[in-house]
Amino acid sequence: MNAPATLTLADYLVNTTFENLPSDVVEKAKLCLMDSLGCFFGGHQTPVASGLERLLADIAGGSTSAPFPDPAWQAFHYATLANALDLDDIYWKGHPGATVIAAALAVANRSGSTGRDLIAAIVAGYEVGCRIGMSIVNDTPRKTVHGHGTWQIFGAAAASAKLLKLDRRQAAHAFAIAAVNAPVASVMKTVYGTTPTMAKNNFATAAMGGVNAAFLARAGFEGPLDVFEGDTGFWRMAGADGADLSRLKIGPDMRYEIRDVGFKAFSCCRIIQSSVEAAVEAFALGAIEETGHDVRQIEVFAPEIVCRPPFNDPEPRDIWAAQFSAPFAIAMGVLGHAAGPEWFAPSRFADRTVRKLTAKIRLFPLRSADRAHHHHAARVRLHLLGGRVVETTVEVAKGDAANPLAPSFLEEKFLRLSAGHLTGNGRLEMLQFLKQLQLKDDLRFMLDAIRVPGCSC
């Protein structure tokens, strides 16, 4: 009889070490950490940051100087900020860094971890979480039950279990506990509903749940070790049509899923990235003024979903709707606004220049025959007042794992996003710290910089 998947995953978790990681995987883990931290720092400049401060004070009984109750709340805080700008990393599905990195940083605060420990935990989080996410099978092209936080809880649990040094059985139970406490698949309401909200992908709840699962397992709590198998398995709980448990097998010749993680160039949903890039390239190719005064109409041929609400909204009312608005994101891109908090300044939503640009955009489904390789491909056709037509196509957006951004771009992104939080030479010092992470035996410099205000845990 085959061992349940929870034990197979636990075997991988307890046996993996920094020393047996390929060098490129180590470097990718450091990039994932850098990108998530940059997004976290940028998230401090969004409306959700003040809400988190009020939450902290409320939990602490009105005192902002009292310590946070536990690392699970820290993970909640980190994940909320990391995903706030919709600029965090991307995978075949989901944004695994928001939960993996949040949990790893929260638990590292308690575990006295080294840089090597943290890297190994981050890799383990991506490998376990992403595999479980890809094991969930949906037969319909656009599922009616959809949620990333639902499976990303496992990446948080794996990273936490690794840093807590759980044994094989404890780690397996951490996965089982995470499964039965995973957040529901809510994206069809929180994102694709009539009004996108800050609840978004429920990554914060997933990060919190993953951390709790690891601590519960260490304390002796147990869950059903066969939680992934059978007709009542996790796939059924997640609202999927089935499960491909072969994806949960991890051996010595494993294919590292973290290699398929990409990073965003634009502060919007992954589905829109190619459309924004194609529009920016079209404006540059035609030597067109950013304001688009010479443009009569902007035709955007994109995935069919982009042509429907909420993605086709030309006048989003706030940051949460704007992240899923293709017209707004395209306007921000061609106007040259830096991705991040700058995109979502309150004045942007009523800016006449932005409104004039979005009013010129027409969205059309891109035919399957026109998508050579990638389902997120986009084509932009500019019709100029003088009759000239400029057209560009982007098959795979920059930042996708198949078209990676240069490390220098990611470093610039980190420095820009952290400018509002790290002062003086702090940004460069943090960047250097992250680049040399495997040499660090003490993580205090990094952990102190990101600590939840008032938290002494």
What percentage of the chain carries pLDDT values higher than 70? 94
Mean pLDDT calculated for residue range 99-110: 95
The pLDDT score that the predictor gives to residue 93 is 85
Q: Angle 189-191-193 (CA atoms, 0-180°, nearest 5)?
A: 45
Q: 65 pLDDT band (50/70/90 cuts)?
A: low
Structure tokens at 51: 């809400």
The pLDDT score that the predictor gives to residue 96 is 97
Alpha helix (H) residue ranges in 335-393 = 352-359
Q: 457 pLDDT band (50/70/90 cuts)?
A: very low
pLDDT digits (tens, 9 = 90+) for 242-275: 999 999 998 778 899 999 999 999 999 999 999 9
Q: Cα separation of 7 and 12, whole Å?
A: 9
Q: Any idea which of 95-99, 212-216, 374-378 has the lowest mean pLDDT?
A: 374-378
pLDDT averaged over every residue in the chain: 92
CB count, 10 Å around CB of 38?
30
Cis peptide preceding 309, ω within 30 of 0: no
Q: 141 pLDDT band (50/70/90 cuts)?
A: low
Q: Cα separation of 94 and 260, whole Å?
A: 12
Q: Cα separation of 100 and 109, whole Å?
A: 15
Q: Cα separation of 347 and 313, whole Å?
A: 17
Q: Is the pLDDT of residue 456 over 50?
A: no
Q: Is the pLDDT of residue 334 over 50?
A: yes
| Length of the chain in terms of residues written | 457
The pLDDT score that the predictor gives to residue 37 is 98
Burial class (CB in 10 A: 0-12, 13-18, 19+), 169: middle
Provide the β-strand partners of residue 383: 297, 389
The pLDDT score that the predictor gives to residue 224 is 98
Mean pLDDT calculated for residue range 410-428: 93
The pLDDT score that the predictor gives to residue 138 is 86
Structure tokens at 316: 């989003």
Residue-wise over 272-289: b if at least 16 C-beta within 10 A, else e? bbbbbbbbbbbbeebebe
- What global pTM score does this model have? 0.95
Q: 300 pLDDT band (50/70/90 cuts)?
A: very high
pLDDT digits (tens, 9 = 90+) for 404-418: 999 999 999 999 999
Mean pLDDT calculated for residue range 351-361: 96
The pLDDT score that the predictor gives to residue 58 is 83
| Widest Cα–Cα separation across the chain | 73
Backbone angles phi, psi at 394, to 5 degrees: -125, 110
Residue-wise over 76-106: b if at least 16 C-beta within 10 A, else e? bbbbbbbbbbbbbbbbebbbbbbbbbbbbbb
Is the separation of the CB atoms in 450 and 105 below 8 Å?
yes
Q: Is the pLDDT of residue 113 over 80?
A: yes
Q: Is the pLDDT of residue 231 over 80?
A: yes
Q: 454 pLDDT band (50/70/90 cuts)?
A: very low
Mean pLDDT calculated for residue range 7-36: 97
pLDDT digits (tens, 9 = 90+) for 191-214: 888 888 888 889 999 999 999 999
Q: Cα separation of 62 and 44, whole Å?
A: 21
Between 104 and 68, where is the model more confident? 104
